[in-house]
Amino acid sequence: MTTTDLLIGMAGAGGDGIVSAGESLISAAALGGYHGILTKSFGPQIRGGESSFRLRLSADDVFTVNGTLDVAVALNWDDFLRFGAELPVGSDTIVIYDAQHTGEIPLAAVKPIEVVAAPIAQLAREIGGSDKSKNTVVLGLMSGWFGFVPEALLGGIRRKLGKKGADLLERNERAFAAGREYAVGHPLRSARVLASLPAAGSPKLLTDGNEICGAAAIFAGCSFFGGYPITPSTEIMQYLARELWKYGGTVFQAEDEIAGVGAVVGASFAGKKAMTATSGPGMSLKTEMLGLATIAELPLVCINVQRGGPSTGIPTKSEQSDLFQAAFSAHGDVVRPVLAPTTVADTFETTVEAFNLAEEYQTPVIVLSDGEIAQRKEIVDPIDTSRLRVVERRRPTPPELERYARFAATESGISPISEPGMVGGNYLASGIEHNEQGAPTAAGAIHARMNDKRIRKFAPLKTRRDLYMVYGPADAAIGLISWGSVAGVAREAIVLAAERGVPTKLLVPRLLYPVAPQVYEDFFASVRAGLIVEQSHQGQLYRLLRMFVDLPRGVTSFARSGSNPFTPLEIAERLQTLAVAVHRERMPELEAHSD
């Protein structure tokens, strides 16, 4: 049987080359014209421990890798089972495991469609004297059983290992051949072979959320990055360290998170577009400096790649539990924009938008990426940058510099911002309250006036409907809201719901804060029941919306902690249950109307 949609999961111990195998498979699929997403997952250990990947390939766009696996590969069962709900096995799953691990298959209450004990370690040892080529044997099995083009996989192996010595490359080529030969000689009863697609049109990109974030920052004009390494955001700094200097920019790895954002505030004061990146614990340390940037009205972008929390939490797992922190972790009356991308490709546009908002409103902007988007690989179409605008901060005109008031109470609340060396543009940028010229003050009337200025300038942002994406029929009685990486699961869920006779509309906010009540009220106009789906224990977006929006009575929270992924099917089933309840509620009024 041929297929154009395949979901593969694989797990093993550190050093087994699990992630390397997944990257080889998605690279080969990209060459074959497929769309795809590869997510990687690791145990919390600094070194060693278990690792896994999930790979979804499809002829059409894909938005999630969550769901029951079509193919599950276990190099050892202990490591596979540690991932629990991340690698779900069902009755239609083909399970492949290393034959050296004998005994009962530890899949309670599940009977896969086929279980195969393949001599993975044995084949690796036969060709190389050790089992270090197990991942390459698996690539051979994938080629023989599931139709991955051998030339594409071998090409990737040669590119990756060609510089590491002829002996190593030859051993892995023989391991691949041994795996493929075994697969051809032992066909599966329920094989699902990837169909060849028509020749792909334009070339595609294979990238991850962190790297495309760095590329977007360069496109937006970022010329300074200050930060400190922290999982899972470190790759942003690593990418910019490789690339930013080519465009005249600077990367500063500070001694800690506070110094990193402090340098960014200084760079912004000096007239540069500047950015930092971190995760939850680092975000906590950056809070005071973000407050300084708020009162001094200095533009900067802070990327928070969310992970499981609180404290050190689960550094290697994705979660959406930093929304309250992003919106409210500031003393005083502070409003700052919070954005969230939904895919790897969307991270580019969202990052550019973050710089635009920072420059336009002279404010820190928080981008809430998450571990899944940041570190997953996606096959994406090239970014059409011609449709994106790049905004620069409002600088003072010569007449304004004659009697320069940095914090002038303009009608929009946005004042002209100078930079060092600009004749007539000197001013004090401090963390203390100030008047229009920047002179310190403790006067209550001026403090109230400045608070009003700093907050009312965001009023136009609440009218930006382009920062919200709506899918599904506009008059649907069932509504769904989701954000970040979970939005991809929701997009596939409403398709499943429609197939079950439940038309559903979905709202995906890219702008999470400040909340735009009118956008949500318009969305809810036809909604009788719905769900706000997110991966945080408290349901933080649900609680945030209740502060500003009159939610319909039938709209409830569907939330859970990180490391417990949602699937499109379970959301679709919840929507179906809501639809039945709505129909029952409407029956009396429908009968009265018919009378």
- The full set of domains in the chain, from first to last, is 2-194 (3.40.920.10), 208-387 (3.40.50.970), 394-463 (no CATH), 465-594 (3.40.50.920)
Angle at which helices 150-161 and 166-185 pack, to 10 degrees? Answer: 160
Of 407, 365, 352, 357, whose CA–CA distance to 212 is shortest? 352
Other CB atoms within 10 A of residue 79 CB: 20
Distances (CA, A) of 342 to 346, 386, 441, 523: 6, 21, 43, 19
Other CB atoms within 10 A of residue 589 CB: 9
pLDDT at 153: 92
pLDDT at 106: 86
pLDDT at 587: 57
∠ CA 139-167-207 to the nearest 5 degrees?
45
Residue ranges of the chain with pLDDT lower than 70? 44-48, 199-202, 586-595
Contact (Cβ atoms closer than 8 angstroms) between residue 515 and residue 545 = yes
DSSP string, 474-521: TT-SEEEEE-TTHHHHHHHHHHHHHHTT--EEEEEESEEES--HHHHH
For residue 440, give the DSSP letter: B
pTM score, whole prediction: 0.93
For residue 434, give the DSSP letter: B
pLDDT at 592: 52
pLDDT at 590: 46
CB burial class (10 A; 0-12, 13-18, 19+) of residue 552?
middle
pLDDT at 130: 76
